[in-house]
Chain A
Amino acid sequence: MASAELRIINRRIKSVKSTKKITRAMELIASSRIVKAQQRLSSSNNYTNLLAQIVEELTGSGEMPTSPVTEGTKRITLVVITSDRGLAGAYNTNILKLAEVRKSEYEKLNNKVEIVTVGKKANGYFKYRNIEPKQNYEGITDEPNFENALQIMTPLVEEFYEGKTNQIELVYTEYQSAMTQTALYKTVLPFEVEQIAKEIESAGGYTFEPSASQVLSNIIPKYTNATIYSALLNASTSEHAARMRAMKAATENAEELIKILSRKSNQARQAEITTEISEIVGGAEALAG
C-alpha cells in the first residue's frame, strides 16, 4: 500500500514541476513583451499628446467638447477590447464586467447597444450569451499596429457619418504601471466639429490652410484613430502585465506545492521503509522462534 501512495505522490510532483516550467516560461515571455509594448505605448502617447495639444491650442480649452446627451433612442456601438488568450488573471473578467455594466446602463435608457469585439475572449463571452457581435477582430491584441486601428475604426466612422450609429464608445484596460491596470470606457465620437471651428476662428493667432473648419475636420478623424490605437496599445500592454503577474503567482504556487508534496513523499518513503523493516524483523523472529 505504502509504495502505491509514494508512486502517486511522485507522479504529482512530476506533473506540478512540468506545469511550473510552463508558467515560468510564460512569465518570461510576457515580461519581455511588456518592454516592447511599453515603448510603443510611449511613442503613441507622444503623437496623441501633440495632436491633443494642437486641438487644445486651437480651441483654447483643455478638453475636446463632446455632444450633449440627446433624448430618445440612440444606437450605441461598444468596442470591447480583450485578449485572444486566457491565463492572464482577472484581465478579461474585469473588462467584460465593465462592458456588461455599460451595456445595461445604456439599455435602461432605451438605447440600442451593438457590440464590436476585439479579441477571442470578448467574442466568446457575448456569443455564449446569444449576443452576436457586429464585428469581431482577432489576432491583433498581441502586437497591435496602426493599420489595425484603421481597420477597426474606418467602418465605424463611416457608420457614424451615415447615421447608423450615434455614439462610439471604447471599453478597454488602461495601463498605469506594471502593478496597476484599470478597466475603463471612453467615448470616441461624437465631437461637435462646428462648434469647435467657430471657437478656432475667434481664437486668432494662427493662419489656416485651407480653412479652420477643414483643418479641424481633418484633425478629428486622426484624433479618433489615435484614440483607438492608444486604446489597443494600452490593452495589449495591460494584457502582458496581467499575464506576467498571473504566471508569477502560478510559478510561486507551484513551488509551494512541490515543497509540500516532497515532504509528503519523504514521509511515505519513510513509512514504506519502516514497514519493510518491521516485516523483516517479524519474519526473522518467527523463524528463530
Chain B
Amino acid sequence: MFVEVVCPEENCFSGDATMVISRTPNGEIGILDGHEQTVATLMPGGLTIEHDNTRTSFAISGGILQITGEKVIVLGELIEKIDGDHEKAIEIGQELGKKAFPAE
C-alpha cells in the first residue's frame, strides 16, 4: 500500500509500505494492506512505518489518518523523524503534543 505522511511544513514520507503502526483514542493500531476504509484521529505519540524490511519512526503531535483502498494518508501538525524505535517516538511525540495543544 502507498503511504503518505504530510505536515504543513514538509512532506515527511511517501512511498510503499507493508505496515503502519500508530495510536488512536481506542488504542494502538497496526494497518496492513487491505484495511477497511477508515478515518481515525491519532493521539500524540509515535508513528512507525515498515517498508523495504526496515522501520522508520516519526514523533507526531496528533493528527488524522485516512485509509482509502490502496492509500494511507497521515496528516499531522508537528512531525519529526526519529532516530530510534517506536517507544522513543512515542515519548517525543507526547512532548510535541503538549506544544501543539498547550491547553490540554
Q: How many A residues have CB within 8 A of the partner chain?
A: 32
B14-72 residues at the A interface, CB under 8 angstroms: 24-26, 29, 36-41, 62-64, 66
**Would you call A207 and B36 a contact (CB within 8 A)?**
yes
**Would you call B11 and A209 a contact (CB within 8 A)?**
no
**Would you call A218 and B8 a contact (CB within 8 A)?**
no
**Would you call A207 and B38 a contact (CB within 8 A)?**
yes
**Would you call A229 and B41 a contact (CB within 8 A)?**
no
Q: Please, how many angstroms separate the alpha-carbon atoms of A217 and B66 in the complex?
A: 15
A281 to chain B, nearest CB (A): 78
**Would you call A50 and B6 a contact (CB within 8 A)?**
yes
**Would you call A154 and B103 a contact (CB within 8 A)?**
yes
B40's nearest neighbour on chain A, judged by CB, is: A209
A255 to chain B, nearest CB (A): 40
Q: How many B residues have CB within 8 A of the partner chain?
A: 29
Chain B proximity mask over A149-185: 1 for CB below 8 Å, otherwise 0: 1100010001000000000000000000000000000
**Would you call A208 and B7 a contact (CB within 8 A)?**
no
Q: Is B83 an interface residue (CB 8 A)?
A: no
Q: Please, which residues of chain B bring their CB within 8 A of the CB of A226? A: 8
Q: Please, how many angstroms separate the alpha-carbon atoms of A55 and B25 in the complex?
A: 20
Q: Please, which residues of chain A bring their CB within 8 A of the CB of B41? A: 209-210, 214-215, 218
A to B contact number (C-beta, < 8 Å): 83
**Would you call A225 and B77 a contact (CB within 8 A)?**
yes
B62's nearest neighbour on chain A, judged by CB, is: A218
Q: Please, which residues of chain B bring their CB within 8 A of the CB of A145? A: 9
Q: Please, which residues of chain A bring their CB within 8 A of the CB of B3? A: none
A interface majority secondary structure: helix
> If the complex has contacts A44-B9, A146-B7, A146-B8, are A206 and B38 also in contact, measured as CB distance less than 8 A?
yes
A138-152 residues at the B interface, CB under 8 angstroms: 145-147, 149-150
The CB with the most chain A CB atoms within 10 A, among B25, B77, B78, B100, is that of B77
Q: Please, how many angstroms separate the alpha-carbon atoms of A205 and B68 in the complex?
A: 10
Q: Please, how many angstroms separate the alpha-carbon atoms of A155 and B4 in the complex?
A: 31
B73 to chain A, nearest CB (A): 6
Q: Please, which residues of chain A bring their CB within 8 A of the CB of B36? A: 207
A216-254 residues at the B interface, CB under 8 angstroms: 218-219, 222, 225-226, 229-230
Q: Please, which residues of chain A bring their CB within 8 A of the CB of B99? A: 147, 150
**Would you call A208 and B8 a contact (CB within 8 A)?**
no
**Would you call A150 and B100 a contact (CB within 8 A)?**
yes
> If the complex has contacts A50-B73, A208-B39, A214-B25, are A43 and B63 also in contact, measured as CB distance less than 8 A?
no
Q: Can you identify 13 A-B contacts, CB atoms within 8 angstroms? A: A51-B75, A147-B99, A149-B8, A150-B99, A150-B100, A154-B102, A207-B37, A207-B38, A209-B29, A215-B41, A215-B64, A222-B64, A226-B8
